[in-house]
C-alpha cells in the first residue's frame, strides 16, 4: 500500500537527523514517509524493556550490547575490530574504531548525549589557521537553530558555564533545563585543577573543569516539560508514561538508558504529527532511482523484511517530491554509491572523520566514587581552540564517571583478578575493591581530525551483506596534525594527574585491546568516539563539495543528504547537536519551499481525538503535544 | 545439621564479608546454589560446604578465629578440586556471572555441562555485591536518584566478624 502512495517527503533513516526533520515537516502538514532499516522495537515501551533485559543478560556490556542488529540491517560492533571480521571492510592503513546502531531511533539509542556547540572558530578553520576548510555558514548564522536543537532534544546546561572561546548565546537565552549536577569526582578534581595552566606552543592555557551540556533530563527552566520514555502504539499515537523526566543516575547511558531520561530519536518521532507521518520499519533503502536527464530522484527502492533473523525480503519503491537521506554518514554515502551516484566531483564518501581518542587512567588518593551517575558529566574544554591549531589538532578532555571500565573492563575484571590471581575473599576482598575501584579516575582525550580525501567510504561488489547490499569499505588514516595533537593531549593529562595527585596507571600493554598507530618512535593506542562525519561535505562550490549549505545535493536538486556527513570539518565537539541544528535548518528551508509550491495534501489519516493546533508549530511548545496524552 | 541452602549462606557470608541477612536480602542465594550444583555437582558442593562448617567449628572451639582462615585456605581454597568452585561462588555473588572453570580443573576433573561464562540472570546482574561494596549501583538498575552522584560515595562499613 505504502509503496504506491506519493508522499511529500521520503526520509531514509529514523535516527536523530531524520526524526527531527520528520517531526518538523509533519507538524507543518507535510506528508512524510520514514523508511527505517532496523526493527521498531525501541519505540514501544515493551520493546524498549526487552532491550534493557538484553543488556542485563549480556556478559560484555559494550555500546552495542543492548542493540543486536537484524540480519537485514547489519551494523558495526567494537568487538569485531580486533578480529576484523565485522560489518566494515577495513582497508587501513588504520582501523576505523567507531560504531553505530541500526534500529528505529538510530545511534542516539546508545549515545552518551554530550551536546556541545561547535566553537565559532571551528567554522573558520581555514581562514583563521590555514587548516582544513571553512564552513559555508558561520556560527552566528547557525545560532538560532542551535537554540531550537537544544530545545528539541532537551539539553541540560547553564549558559554561564558555556561561554568560552567566543561561544555566544542570544540575549536572555538559557538552556531548557538546568545543568546536570557535576559528579563528586568532578568536584574534587576541579578543586585541584581549576586555575592551573599548561603550555601549548606559544599559548599559555588556563584550565577549568567544566560541566558540559547533556541531552539528559534535569530540572526544567521556564515551563519546559522534559520528555521522558516513549511508547508509540500501533495506531501511531504515543502515550505519556511519566517516566524518565529526570535522570536518576542509572549509569548506563551507553548502551541504554533504562528510563529514557537521555534523549533518543524516538522521542522526536513520537512527537511528530501522526496524521501526516508514516513510519515503515524493517525497510532497508537499497537504491535511488534518478531521472537521467534532470538528475532528480524519482523513487527509493527498499527491501522489506518481516523476520529479523532472516535475509528474506520483498522489494518496493517509495515515491515523494523530496527525498532526504538521514541514514547516518556511512550509510548515506553507501546508498549513493550503490545507486551509481558517486557524482562528478568525486567527493562522495571522502573526508571521513572521527575524533580519535586516547585514554589516561589513574588512582586518586581518596575515594572519588566512580561508577555512579551519568557516565560523564564534565570535561576540560580549554584546549578546544587557540593559535596552536595552526600546528596541531585541538582536543578536549572528557572526565569519566565510570572508572576504568572502558580501559580494563573494571569493575568485573577487578573482582576476577582479586579472587583468581590474588586469592582474596571475605573482608580482604572487600577492602581491596574499596581501595582500588573507588579511587579510579579516567580521562578520554579526544582529538580533532581534519578532512582528508584518502579517508573514505567506498563499496565493492565482492563485499555484500546477507540481503545483497554492499558493506562499507573503509580506508582510514590519522595524519601528523592529529597525532601531534594526541601527543600534546597525553602530555597535558599527565600534568593534570600530577597536579591532582592522581597516580598514573595508564598501561595500554595490559588493558583492553585498542588499535595502535605509530608516532614519533613509539605507538599510541586510540579508540573511536562514534563521531562519523564528512562523507558528503557541504560547501559553496560543487567541485569540492557534495551538498550546499542547505544540505541539498548539488547534482540532484530534490535530494538532501543530512547528518554529520555534511560537516566540512568537525572541530572538537560531539557532532549530534550541530547535526540537529543543521537538520532543523534544512527542515525550515523545505517548509518554506514546499509550502509555497504546492497545495496542502490530505493527511494520511484523520487526526484522532482533539486535533492539534498545527499553526502554533509543535516544536516551539514547552510540552509534548496532546498526541502524547493518555488518549488510548 | 541444617539445610544445604543454610550451609551455602554460611559459607557465602564468610567468603564475601556480607552478612547472611544481606545475602538473603538479594534474593539470589537459591539461584546461585542451584547454579553451582547444576554445574559442579552435589558431591563437590557438599564437600566444600562441609569443610567450611568444620573449619568454623574448629575455630569456634579453639576461640581463635584465625584458624578458620587457615583451614579454609588449606582445605578448600588450595584444593585443586574445591578451590576453583569456591572462587566461582565468590565471583557469582559479586558480579552475578558464572565464569567458566579453569582449563586445569576441567582436564583433571572432567568437563561439566553448562560450564561456560554467563550472566546467571538479569537479577543476578543487578544484585551483584560488587556495587554495594564500592557504594555504587549496577549500571542500568537500582538508580540512586537525581543528583546522588554529586555526593561522596557511601561505602558500607565491613560487618565485624
Ligand atoms: C558509543 C557512542 C557514544 C556517542 N556519544 C555521543 C555524544 O555524547 N554526543 C554526540 O553528539 N554524539 C555521540 N555519538 C554519535 C551519535 O550517536 C551520532 O552522531 C548520531 O546518532 C548520528 O545521527 P544520525 O541521525 O546521522 O544517524 P543514526 O543515529 O545512526 O541514524 C540513522 C538511522 O538510519 C537508519 N538506516 C541506516 N541505513 C538505512 C537504510 N539503508 N535504509 C533505511 N534506514 C537506514 C538506521 O537504522 C538509523 O535508525 C556517540 C556515538 C557512539 C557510538
Ligand atoms: S545516568 Fe542513568 S538515568 Fe541518567 S541518563 Fe544515564 S542511564 Fe539514564
Q: Which tens digits make up the pLDDT trace of A96-120?
A: 999 999 999 999 999 999 999 999 9
Q: What is the mean pLDDT of residues B138-145?
A: 88
Inspect the interface and report whether the beta carbons of A425 and B15 lie closer than 8 Å. Answer: yes
Predicted pLDDT at A5 = 59
0.90 exceeded by pTM: yes
Please tell me the predicted confidence (pLDDT) of residue A64: 87
- Beta strand A314-325 with A297-304 is antiparallel
- Cβ(A155)–Cβ(A261) under 8 Å? no
Q: Do B158 and A247 touch (CB under 8 A)?
A: no
Q: Does B110 touch chain A (CB under 8 A)?
A: no
Residues A388-404 have a mean pLDDT of 97
Q: Is B74 on the interface with A (CB under 8 A)?
A: no
- Report how far ligand 2's centroid is from the alpha carbon of A478 (Å): 33
Q: Which chain A residues are closer than 8 Å to B121 by Cβ?
A: 57
B151 neighbourhood in chain A, CB within 8 Å: 184, 369
A274 part of contact set with chain B, CB < 8 Å: no
On the CB side of A489, CA atoms within 13 Å amount to 34
Q: In sequence order, which residues have a C-beta less than 8 Å from that of residue A281 and are 6 or more positions away?
A: A14, A36, A38, A39, A40, A43, A104
Q: Whose CA is nearest to atom 8 of ligand 2?
A: A257
- Please write the tens of the pLDDT for every residue from A340-376: 999 988 999 999 999 999 999 999 999 999 999 999 9
pLDDT tens, A575-628?
Answer: 999 999 999 999 999 999 987 555 567 888 766 543 333 222 232 223 333 333
Residue the block writes with cell 592529529:
A482
Give the torsion through C-alpha atoms of A124, A126, A128, A134, to 10 deg: -10
A14 lines ligand 1 (CB under 6 A): yes
Mutate to test the interface with A, among B146, B148, B160 (most CBs of A within 10 A): B146
Q: What is the pLDDT of residues A256-297, one digit of tens each?
A: 999 999 999 999 999 999 999 999 999 999 999 999 999 999
A252 Cβ inside 6 Å of ligand 2: yes
Torsion of CA A446, A448, A454, A456, to 10 degrees: 60
Q: How far is A188 from chain B (nearest CA, A)?
A: 10
Pairing between β-strand A559-561 and β-strand A314-325 as defined by DSSP bridges? parallel
Residues of B in contact with A60 (CB under 8 A): none
CB–CB contact A183 B158 (8 Å): no
Rg (CA), chain A: 24
ipTM of the complex: 0.97
A199-210 per-position pLDDT tens digit: 998 899 999 999
Ligand closest to CA A401: 2
Residue B159 confidence (pLDDT): 65
- Could you please report the per-residue DSSP string of A329-393? HHHHHHHHHHTT---TTS-TTBS-B---EEEEEEE-SS----S-SSSEEEEE-TTSSSGGGGTS-
Supply the pLDDT for residue B116.
Answer: 96
Ligand 1 near A252 CB (within 6 A): no
For testing contact with chain A, the best of B88, B149, B155 (most A CBs within 10 A) = B149
Chain A residues whose CB is inside 8 A of the B140 CB are: 52, 55-56, 250-252, 256, 258
Other C-beta atoms lying within 10 Å of the C-beta of residue A195: 10
- CB within 8 A of B44, min separation 6: which ones? B81, B82, B85
A561 to A13, A19, A83, A326, A546: CA distances (angstroms): 11, 14, 32, 6, 9
Atom number, ligand 1, closest to the C-alpha of residue A255: 1
- Could you give the CA distance from residue A195 to residue A205 in angstroms, rounded to a whole number? 9
Do A558 and A380 form a contact (C-beta atoms < 8 A)? no
Q: Which residues are CB-neighbours of A117 under 8 A, at least 6 positions away?
A: A139, A146, A162, A167, A213, A573, A577, A578
Across the beta sheet with A376-380, what order do the strands follow? A209-211, A376-380, A395-400, A440-447, A357-363, A503-504
pLDDT for res A611: 32
Helix A576-597 vs helix A139-152: angle between axes, to the nearest 10 degrees? Answer: 90
CA angle A608, A612, A615 (to 5 degrees): 145
Pairing mode, strands A357-363 and A440-447: antiparallel
Distance CA A297, CA A290 (A): 4
A105 φ/ψ angles, rounded to the nearest 5 degrees = 115, -25
Instruction: Give yes or no for residue A287 CB within 6 A of ligand 1.
Output: no
A220: contact with B, CB 8 A cutoff: no
Q: Which of B117, B153, B161 sits opposite A369 (nearest CB)?
A: B153
Amino acid at each position: 500500500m505504502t509503496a504506491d502512495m506519493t508522499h511529500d517527503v521520503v526520509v531514509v533513516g529514523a535516527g536523530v537527523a531524520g526524526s527531527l526533520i520528520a517531526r518538523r515537516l509533519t507538524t507543518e502538514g507535510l506528508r512524510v514517509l520514514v523508511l527505517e532499516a532496523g526493527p521498531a522495537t525501541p519505540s514501544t515501551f515493551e520493546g524498549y524493556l526487552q532491550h534493557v533485559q538484553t543488556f542485563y543478560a549480556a556478559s560484555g556490556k559494550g555500546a552495542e550490547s543492548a542493540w543486536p542488529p537484524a540480519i537485514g540491517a547489519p551494523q558495526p560492533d567494537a568487538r569485531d575490530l580486533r578480529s576484523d571480521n565485522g560489518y566494515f571492510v577495513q582497508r587501513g592503513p588504520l582501523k576505523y574504531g567507531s560504531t553505530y546502531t541500526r534500529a528505529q531511533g538510530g545511534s542516539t539509542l546508545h549515545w552518551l548525549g554530550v551536546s556541545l556547540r561547535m566553537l565559532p572558530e571551528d567554522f573558520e578553520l581555514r581562514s583563521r589557521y590555514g587548516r582544513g576548510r571553512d564552513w559555508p555558514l558561520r556560527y552566528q548564522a547557525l545560532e538560532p537553530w542551535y537554540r531550537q536543537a537544544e530545545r528539541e532534544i532537551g539539553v541540560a546546561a547553564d549558559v554561564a558555564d558555556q561561554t568560552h572561546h567566543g561561544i555566544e548565546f542570544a540575549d536572555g537565552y538559557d538552556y531548557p533545563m538546568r545543568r546536570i549536577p557535576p559528579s563528586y569526582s568532578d568536584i574534587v578534581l576541579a578543586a585541584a585543577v581549576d586555575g592551573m595552566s599548561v603550555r601549548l606552543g606559544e599559548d599559555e592555557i588556563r584550565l577549568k573543569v567544566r560541566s558540559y551540556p547533556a541531552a539528559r533530563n534535569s530540572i526544567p527552566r521556564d515551563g519546559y516539560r522534559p520528555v521522558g520514555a516513549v511508547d508509540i502504539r500501533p495506531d501511531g499515537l504515543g502515550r505519556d508514561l511519566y517516566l524518565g523526566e529526570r535522570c536518576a543516575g542509572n549509569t548506563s547511558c551507553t548502551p541504554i538508558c533504562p528510563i529514557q531520561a537521555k534523549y533518543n530519536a524516538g522521542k522526536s518521532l513520537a512527537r511528530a504529527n501522526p496524521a501526516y507521518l508514516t513510519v515503515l520499519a524493517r525497510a532497508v533503502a537499497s537504491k535511488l532511482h534518478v531521472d537521467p536527464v534532470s538528475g532528480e530522484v524519482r523513487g527509493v527502492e527498499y527491501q522489506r523484511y518481516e523476520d529479523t533473523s532472516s535475509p528474506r525480503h520483498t522489494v518496493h519503491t517509495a515515491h515523494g517530491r523530496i527525498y532526504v537521506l538521514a541514514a547516518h554518514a556511512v550509510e548515506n554515502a553507501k546508498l549513493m554509491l550503490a545507486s551509481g551516484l558517486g557524482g562528478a566531483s568525486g567527493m562522495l564518501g571522502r573526508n571521513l572523520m572521527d575524533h580519535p581518542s586516547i585514554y589516561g587512567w589513574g588512582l586518586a588518593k581518596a575515594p572519588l566514587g566512580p561508577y555512579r551517575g551519568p557516565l560523564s558529566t564534565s570535561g576540560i574544554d580549554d584546549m578546544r581552540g587557540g593559535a596552536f591549531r595552526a600546528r596541531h589538532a585541538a582536543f578536549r578532555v572528557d572526565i569519566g564517571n565510570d572508572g576504568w571500565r572502558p580501559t580494563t573492563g573494571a569493575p568485573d575484571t577487578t573482582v576476577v583478578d582479586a579472587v583468581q590471581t590474588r586469592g582474596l575473599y571475605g573482608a580482604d576482598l572487600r577492602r581491596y575493591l574499596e581501595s582500588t575501584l573507588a579511587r579510579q579516575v579516567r580521562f578520554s582525550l579526544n582529538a580533532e581530525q581534519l578532512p582528508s580525501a584518502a579517508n573514505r567510504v567506498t563499496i565493492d561488489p565482492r563485499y555484500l551483506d546477507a540481503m545483497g547490499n554492499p558493506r562499507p569499505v573503509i580506508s582510514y588514516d590519522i595524519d601528523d596534525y592529529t597525532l601531534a595533537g594526541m601527543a600534546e593531549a597525553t602530555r597535558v593529562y599527565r600534568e593534570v594527574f600530577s597536579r591532582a595527585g592522581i597516580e598514573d596507571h595508564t598501561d595500554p600493554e595490559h588493558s583492553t585491546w585498542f588499535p595502535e598507530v605509530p608516532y614519533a618512535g613509539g605507538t599510541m593506542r586510540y579508540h573511536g568516539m562514534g563521531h562519523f562525519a564528512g562523507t558528503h561535505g557541504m560547501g559553496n562550490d560543487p567541485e569540492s563539495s557534495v551538498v550546499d549549505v542547505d544540505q541539498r545535493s548539488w547534482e540532484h536538486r530534490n535530494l538532501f543528504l543530512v547528518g554529520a556527513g555534511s560537516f566540512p570539518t568537525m572541530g572538537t565537539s560531539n557532532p549530534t547537536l550541530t547535526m540537529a541544528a543543521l537538520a532543523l535548518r534544512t527542515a525550515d528551508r523545505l517548509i518554506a519551499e514546499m509550502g509555497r509550491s504546492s497545495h496542502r495534501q490530505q493527511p494520511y489519516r484523520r487526526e484522532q481525538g482533539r486535533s492539534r493546533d498545527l499553526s502554533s508549530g509543535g516544536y516551539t511548545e514547552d510540552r509534548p503535544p496532546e498526541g502524547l496524552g493518555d488518549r488510548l | 545439621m541444617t539445610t544445604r541452602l543454610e550451609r551455602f549462606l554460611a559459607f557465602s557470608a564468610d567468603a564475601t564479608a556480607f552478612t547472611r541477612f544481606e545475602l538473603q536480602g538479594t534474593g539470589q542465594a537459591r539461584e546461585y546454589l542451584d547454579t553451582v550444583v547444576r554445574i559442579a555437582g552435589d558431591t563437590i558442593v557438599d564437600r566444600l560446604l562441609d569443610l567450611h562448617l568444620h573449619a568454623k567449628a574448629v575455630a569456634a572451639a579453639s576461640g581463635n578465629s584465625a584458624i578458620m582462615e587457615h583451614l579454609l585456605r588449606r582445605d578448600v581454597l588450595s584444593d585443586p578440586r574445591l578451590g576453583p568452585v569456591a572462587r566461582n561462588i565468590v565471583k557469582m555473588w559479586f558480579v552475578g556471572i558464572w565464569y567458566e572453570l579453569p582449563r586445569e580443573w576441567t582436564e583433571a576433573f572432567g568437563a561439566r555441562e553448562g560450564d561456560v561464562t554467563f550472566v546467571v540472570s538479569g537479577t543476578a546482574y543487578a544484585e551483584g555485591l560488587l556495587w554495594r561494596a564500592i557504594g555504587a549501583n549496577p549500571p542500568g538498575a537500582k538508580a540512586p536518584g537525581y543528583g546522588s552522584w554529586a555526593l561522596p560515595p557511601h561505602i558500607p562499613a565491613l560487618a565485624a566478624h
